[in-house]
Structure 1
């Protein structure tokens, strides 16, 4: 019972922190920018190191605005909020990075990192949550998406292997067909010459 109370308090605190993405501001209230920001990664980010750096870069208010604008281009009106959430996640990080995270970071055996505390989740969360799509739904969608990252990687690897096998098989068939056609043409030409010779 005490465990549930503590967990609920932690969730409430996390939700309150998530309600507003903190944008660094100067003393006069204007948005700060870091002129010395490193080169930004291309999306989706494919390396854990780059993803951690990217999340740290979200302290820069100008960069937050750029990422927010990028996120707004992902998802469509015809998609459900669940689909939009998944699409925004997939547009930022690959499954190769996602397998290192779970929502709360509670799996100590696999040494998973918490995704719910990242600045990028705050941005995505604020983009998708509204009166029709609550925080719990967004969190559940993210949990499921992170949990399924390994399976998506395995499925992609199987599809790639199948495609490569088919390509190799197809490449192997082409020379055989070409050789068969050449043999038939040679046989036909030989037969014609033989017929001419006998006349």
Structure 2
């Protein structure tokens, strides 16, 4: 019985890994259960036994993906006591995250309207980021600063700056300095 449970879990993991790989190239909606079965080297019925619908498979892949992406959390502020230190920590953590996850961000972002599991994960991510950004700005009630931070510590900003020739570290420095300067004007 234990061996069977282990084999079942291994098969499930192989299916999720195959689906994640296919999603990374095609997107979730363009990936069929049959394609996942072929990539996982199992029958389509086996995929169906583990995941009764494509949406359940997508949810499993997203759950795994979220666990692997190392989404920044409050630990990024360890040792950062001042607002400038927290802003720099936030900017570095988020730009590192965006750099690591760029392909996933844009691939799955295109499916927000079509894939409920992606939309739910996106809503949870955005809520967690609102809390993280608010933590970075603790002690400052400038709404313009909060909106500026949200706009500047953003994947599009990182993309524009790196396309202009800046390294990620230089982009962190430029953006964090701009936010800190705005905070100091208050």
TM-score (norm 2): 0.32
- Larger Cα Rg: Structure 1 or Structure 2? 1
Higher relative contact order (CA closer than 8 Å, sequence separation 6+): 2
